[in-house]
Amino acid sequence: MRERSASALAYVLFAEAMALPESQRGDFLDARCGGDTRLRTDVHELLAIAARDEVATGALCGPAHAGADEESWVGRVIGRFRLVERIGAGGMGVVYRAERIDGVQQSVAVKLVATSMASVAQSRFEREAQLLARLEHPSIARLIDAGVQDTRAWIAIEFVRGKRIDEYCRDLQLQPRDIVRLLIRLADAVAAAHRLLVVHSDIKPANVLVGAEGVPKLVDFGISTALREADGHSSTVNVARMFSPNYAAPEQINGTPLSVATDVFGLGALAYRLLTGVPPYADAQDPIAYLLAISQRDVELGSQAARTAGRDASLVRALRGDLDAILAKALERDPQRRYSTATEMQADLTRYLDARPVHARTPTWAYRVKKFVSRNQVAVGLTALLLIAITGGATSAALQARKASIAQAMAARRGEFLESVLKSADPRSGKRDLSLAELLDSAAGALDDKLSEEPLVEASMLGLVADTDVGLGRYPQALAASDRQLMLLETHDGGALDIGRALTSRGRVLREQGIWLEDEKVMRRAVALLRPLNAKPELARALFELAAVLAHTDQEREAESDYREELALEAAGPPELRAHRSYTYYALGGLLTNLGRYREALQYELESIELAKRTMPADHQDLLTFQAQYASTLISSNQPAPAEAVLRDVIEKDTRVSGADHKDVLLTQSLLADDLVELQRYDEAAELALKAASALDALLGGDNSYSLTAWQTFAIATCSEGDFSRGLEVAQRISAARVRLYPANHRFVHAAAAAVGLCLYRAHRYAEAEPILLSAAAGLEATRGEHYRFTQLAYRLLRDLYEATGRPDTARSYSARLLPDAAHSR
């Protein structure tokens, strides 16, 4: 035992020492090990092993590019090929045309990349190549062989004689229908690759060649990935990738893992370019402009872009409608909203050719195509950082000083700084590829060095870094950046508005992490700072955050007044702020429902729906959420009949938009099952609850609150229906899970106990049911009040139980506590 903990201690000291420069390690160990020579020896041994590894890794990843470009390998033999001529060079290496040396007539393109691969990387490289070799499709340039030779990793690919697809389309003046035929073949090729788990992630005109027979071929499929393996630092997201303007998908910029949807975007961008003659976001020609564009707005409709570019009116007409819709769906910024596979996109393109209705034009899409409403859930990550920095969204500190020139200077300084950070990450400048996270780390480090003379600029940059970290889910880093930001703002008189904003952002991070105590303090301060200022949007946002904390920490009354204040601010504000009221009404409605003030709650919830209907399409996810909550409040307040119609409508719309087994749909079904229990349609309720519960289990894993609720409804419906043993078993399982997962006095624990009590009562096991129901009733009453639905259920069961066991007086006392409409239902 002592042995083990000594080993753990050695590890901790070793890890700390590794973070120090070598020169300081001796002193560090002197200080930390004291006289424990054994410990010191252990750490020394660990450091020695690590140093040995470092040498080995250094050799693996060392600079291997040098000279690769200058040196001509023409005439040399690689594998079974002789290099004939150099046909190109890119970031990844040099490409040669090569011929077989064994007399077989076959031309290949051989790509060489310098490497000093150790056997590890080599085997990965070969595995990658093996996978690619299985990729056979008439529209994919086939990988023929691969290997490592003389410090070079090489890949031989089918040699395609042809033209770049954009030039081909232009030279032959192809019509949209011909272009769509080419695209269908390419989509088919991409789908074939996806079935082998290979994502191209760099589909653009330069990577598609059309041969003499008019067959388009994708080159470089997955090859860059394989070669990066060979290069010793494989990476899916790197800065070089991020800066491939006009064809990169937002997720390639945000640093989220790439997927099939990334290639759908690439196909969409390629299609856009070929059909309209201009690439998506054509006005954004440099990388930074592209990042800004894609984070700010959806792509322009294809037909509009074609018109702006001065294309023929007949082309513009041909694009309008179906093709516009297909391009828009493929180029959705949110990957989840794109065609989910290349096959789906292919199918829609085929439907277009056959003049059948395309799926991209379902009602959901119609409004997007028409209006292109901005959606704010997409732009997070680096985009936010760039966006705000360059457009000067956070210049308030200077504006407050009423010196527009300073504001301009600050915006300019931020722009310069960002560019320098981004440039320093450019692999072509000699550094190795950086992921977005590393980029952020380096940005945070560089801030101090470069901007220490300009604390307010540094502070606003730190705010951006923090927001970006939040977007990437890097909460500790976000908090660290926000700490420093606040410190700078406060020591350099940053102004109440900026401090208030910074605090509000911090509050959001804390809320995401559920750190309520500090969140409350932070938000109270933010509100106190912002209230005296005439800054309505900022104060409204701060109040929303504060109210959210209060609602979570059982301070509902205060939360209510904050929401009301927010509503007043919003009502007097500009249109965007007024539109936000639908969310505030919704939040307030939820709060009042929890307080048992159903009538008011219903009023606000209706208000939120009415407002939302004015600004959102009928099947907008948020609107559906508002409606589902309204129905839930109807159920809570014993109005199950109107709730059913609302729920069925929500389910129908949501299924169309999100698919039958989307979480939201399942949750609404679970709610509907609940409603059916209230309507005493137990058969239907049990069936629906079972379906929803099983699907939620599969979707979210067991033990999550959503499936537990659905199972509980199933148990109640089943017991009410008469199948006591099955229902009781489920109810007991749910009750045990609630006890395990929630604090002892949580209403979920009591509600689950009430369900167990119900099953026992129905099974005429009165003696067992009584104590459980009594305790559940007391708990529910204490946590949620007498009017709460489950409190009422417990009262009703107790009344029935005492009537059944011949104790009419006690029964009457519970009868008296029942609400009028609840008294009769059973």
Interface with another protein (CB under 8 A): 4, 7-8, 10-12, 14-15, 18-19, 42, 45-47, 49-50, 53-54, 118-120, 123-124, 127, 194-197, 199, 229, 233-237, 257, 259-261, 335-336, 340-341, 343, 434-435, 437-438, 440-441, 472-474, 659, 661-663, 697-701
Residue closer to another protein (CB basis): 229 or 654: 229
Q: In what order do the strands lie in the sheet with 162-164?
A: 162-164, 208-211, 216-218
- CB of 159 closer than 8 Å to CB of 85: no
* Residue located via tokens 């973070």: 19
**Shortest CB 19 distance to another protein, Å:** 8
Residues 6+ apart with CB under 8 A from 526: 499, 500, 503, 504, 507, 542, 545, 546
Residue closer to another protein (CB basis): 328 or 436: 436
Q: What angle do CA 76, 78, 84 make, to 5 degrees?
A: 50
SS3 565: helix
The two structure tokens encoding residue 772: 């459980």
Q: For residues 367-395, b (16+ Cβ closer than 10 Å) or e, as one string?
A: ebbeeeeeeeebbbbbbbbbbbbbebebb
Residues 6+ apart with CB under 8 A from 214: none
**Shortest CB 479 distance to another protein, Å:** 16
Residue closer to another protein (CB basis): 10 or 542: 10
Residue closer to another protein (CB basis): 708 or 755: 708
Residue closer to another protein (CB basis): 174 or 237: 237
Which H or E run contains 155?
strand 152-158
**Shortest CB 610 distance to another protein, Å:** 32
Residue closer to another protein (CB basis): 14 or 168: 14
Residue closer to another protein (CB basis): 241 or 789: 241
**Shortest CB 514 distance to another protein, Å:** 18
Residue closer to another protein (CB basis): 378 or 457: 378
Residue closer to another protein (CB basis): 61 or 89: 61
**Shortest CB 686 distance to another protein, Å:** 22
CA neighbor of 466 nearest in space, from 448, 447, 480: 480
**Shortest CB 710 distance to another protein, Å:** 14
Gap between the Cα atoms of 304 and 318, Å rounded:
12
Which H or E run contains 143?
strand 143-149
What is the secondary structure of 389-424 as a DSSP string? HHHTTT-HHHHHTT-HHHHHHHHHHHHHHHHHHHHH
**Shortest CB 135 distance to another protein, Å:** 11
Phi, psi of 309 (to 5 degrees): -80, 0
DSSP 432: P
Gap between the Cα atoms of 766 and 824, Å rounded:
21
**Shortest CB 41 distance to another protein, Å:** 11
**Shortest CB 55 distance to another protein, Å:** 12
Residue closer to another protein (CB basis): 375 or 521: 375
**Shortest CB 433 distance to another protein, Å:** 8
What is the secondary structure of 64-78 as a DSSP string? --TTTTTS--TT-EE
CA neighbor of 110 nearest in space, from 140, 152, 71, 70: 152
**Shortest CB 194 distance to another protein, Å:** 6
Residues 6+ apart with CB under 8 A from 663: 696, 699, 700, 706
